[in-house]
Amino acid sequence: MRSAKYSRRSVWTGLLALPLLGVPTAGAKGPVAAKTASSGKTFQFVLQNGLQVVVVPDRRAPVVTQMVVYKVGAVDDPPGISGLAHFFEHMMFRGTRAVTGGGFSQTIARNGGDDNAFTTHDYTVFHEQISRDKLRLIAHLEADRMINLDLSESAVMAERDVVAEERRLRVDSDPQALVLEQAQAALYLSHPYGRPVIGWPDEIRRIGRAEAENFYRRHYAPNNAILIVAGDVTADEVRQVAESEFGPLPARDLVARVDYAQPRRMGESRIVVNRKDAKVPLLLRLYRVASYAEGAPGEAEALEVFARLLGGDATSALYRRLVVERRIATDASASYDGYARDNGQFSISVTPRPGVSLDALERGVDEVIGFYAHHQPSKPELLRAKAQLVAGAAFTRDSQFEMASAYARALAVGLTGYDVQQWPVRIQGVKPKALQDAAAEGLNRNEAVTAYLLPR
């Protein structure tokens, strides 16, 4: 539910051993290998310019997926210019001196591949999928725009207009998106997680060439990036390409990321939004909770399982109770976004049946949560929620993109590849008492925002 993800379409060679993935290193002569949930092993190494590299072999088809993950997101937007990280996701497709205009995507399309990108609060990802013999091509294109981006006045102004229009289409004209944006701003107080990834309208208009050049110089560099390649490749093949295409790029002096305080919330916030363009009412509840990066051992996993049990699908507790049994809602869902450098977010969204007030609906939601705060879940429903999560993780092995994404989101927020590999095991180990604690203590109403969206 967290609106932290926006997609664009809507120097020296050598390597050093780096214990990036939390496994024993193999020494400086070769990449580190680790067993993974995917077939075979993953490998890791780092170039001398600081570029981290992860290789996830997948031999089922002669295809590769490449991701370049920059450890920069909306939290790194300078004060008064929100949306700059997302703007740069767009700018990276404006061209370079060697590949002008839309030549990046056009070149990939001519070679039978596809590409896209997305931005979150904590990181930005650019990804391509193409036949394995084109790996050097897409690596060359990414390396080129890492240091040679066109930041002319005309390019910056044109893309700023594109982003402003995207905001009008995807947020300003969508009542539910606006309510979510307002709720998150209230939830995080002064923390930049409360600023929308896409940016506030007036602040988007402040982006100019000087701001763009400064942001690019301070954040887009090999020593602030992770290269992930999943597909029909070997570690040696990726190492050769990485050293050839990315190795010559110089490292840059980076701006240290700010360690923001987490302001204490003294009570629940409530928002009521009346919109004439809202088609149906909506109840939205957001909780500020622990994340995988900062939570105690097992805390994030318990929240993950509880979100699935509470509102993951039509078999979930909220759906059964409010939609099927009491018939006061037409839809009910819950989700947990725990891949964040700071706080995570637990979200509940419920749509009432015609004639049912949001007050009554909210009481129903609180009754369900209150039940689990005082009772441990039954064995069948706990096993079902775990099985669904673990099966979902297994199904990601059918997608190179999802395999690469699992490492991207973990490494970008400070976790390790070992965390990725052990996640199904930790989910299976969640105990009933941990879910009761998640309901009773994790979902703290002092750490919550409740929003009503009402048709005017």
Q: What is the pLDDT of residues 75-97, one digit of tens each?
A: 999 999 999 999 999 999 999 99
**pLDDT confidence band for 261 (50 / 70 / 90):** confident
Task: Name which of 107, 185, 99 is nearest 149 in CA terms.
Answer: 99
Instruction: Specify the number of domains making up the chain.
Output: 2
Q: What percent of the chain has pLDDT over 70?
A: 91
Angle at 263 between CA 257 and CA 265, to 5 degrees: 150
Give the per-residue pLDDT at 398: 82
Report the b/e string of 431-448 with b at 16+ CB within 10 A: ebebbbbbbeebbeeebb
Q: How many CA atoms lie within 13 A of 453 on its CB side?
A: 25
Residue 368: its pLDDT value, please? 97
Distance CA 402, CA 129 (A): 12
Statement: residue 32 has pLDDT above 50: no
Domain boundary among 186, 211, 245: 245
Tens-digit pLDDT profile for residues 44-61: 999 999 999 999 999 999
240 and 92 fall within a common domain = yes
- Assess whether pLDDT exceeds 50 at residue 24: no
- Given CA atoms 429, 434, 439, 441 in this order, what sign does their dihedral have? negative
* 175 pLDDT more than 70: yes
Cβ-contact 53, 235 below 8 angstroms: no
Q: What's the confidence (pLDDT) of residue 51?
A: 98
Q: How many residues does the chain have?
A: 456
Q: Does residue 34 surpass a pLDDT of 50?
A: no
Quick one: 196 and 276 in the same domain?
Answer: no
Q: 272-323, pLDDT tens digit by residue?
A: 999 999 999 999 999 999 999 999 999 999 999 999 999 999 999 999 999 9
- The CATH number of the domain where 108 resides is what? 3.30.830.10
250 residue type, one letter? P
Same domain, 230 and 281: no
Q: What is the mean pLDDT of the chain?
A: 91
Is residue 35, in this structure, part of any structural domain at all?
yes
Q: Residue 256 falls within a domain, yes or no? A: no
Same-domain check for residues 288 and 430: yes
Q: Indicate whether 260 belongs to any domain.
A: no
Question: Cβ distance 454 to 281 under 8 Å?
Answer: yes
Residue 33 is assigned to a structural domain of this protein: yes
Coil, strand or helix at 343: coil
- What's the confidence (pLDDT) of residue 151? 96
Instruction: Give the per-residue pLDDT at 264.
Output: 86
CA 315 from chain centre, in angstroms, equals 26
DSSP letter string, 134-190: GHHHHHHHHHHHHH-B---HHHHHHHHHHHHHHHIIIIIT-HHHHHHHHHHHHHSTT
CA dihedral 262, 267, 269, 270 (to 10 degrees): 160
Of all residues in the chain, what percent carry a pLDDT higher than 90?
A: 86
Span of 14-23, 61-70, 290-299 with lowest mean pLDDT: 14-23
Q: Would you state the pLDDT for residue 23? A: 31
Band of the pLDDT at 266, cuts 50, 70, 90? very high
Cα end-to-end span (Å), the chain: 24
Domain boundary among the residues 182, 213, 245 is at 245
- The verdict on 122 and 77 lying in the same domain is yes
Q: Are residues 112 and 49 in the same domain?
A: yes
Examine the pLDDT at 17 and tell me if it is beyond 80: no
Whether residue 273 sits in one domain with residue 241: no
Give the structural domain span for 329. Answer: 269-455
Assess whether 228 and 274 both reside in one domain.
no
Select from 22, 7, 28 the least CA-distant residue to 414: 22
Note whether 204 and 336 are same-domain residues. Answer: no
pLDDT in the model for residue 30 = 44
pLDDT tier at 174, thresholds 50, 70, 90: very high
Residue 166 covered by a domain:
yes
1 part of a folded domain:
no
Q: Identify whether residues 225 and 348 lie together within a single domain.
A: no
Is 89 noted as a catalytic residue in this protein?
A: yes
**Given this model, what pLDDT does residue 9 score?**
45
What lies within 8 Å, CB to CB, of 398 at 6+ separation is none
The pLDDT tens digits for 135-173 are 999 999 999 999 999 999 999 999 999 999 999 999 999
Q: Do the domain assignments include residue 101?
A: yes
Q: Is there a single domain that holds both residue 48 and residue 184? A: yes
Residue 100 within any structural domain of the chain: yes
Q: Using CA atoms, how far apart are residues 16 and 253, in angstroms rounded to an integer?
A: 20
Backbone angles phi, psi at 351, to 5 degrees: -110, 125
Tell me: do 331 and 397 sit in the same domain. Answer: yes
Last residue of a domain, one of 203, 229, 245: 245
**Is the model's pLDDT at 5 over the cut of 90?**
no
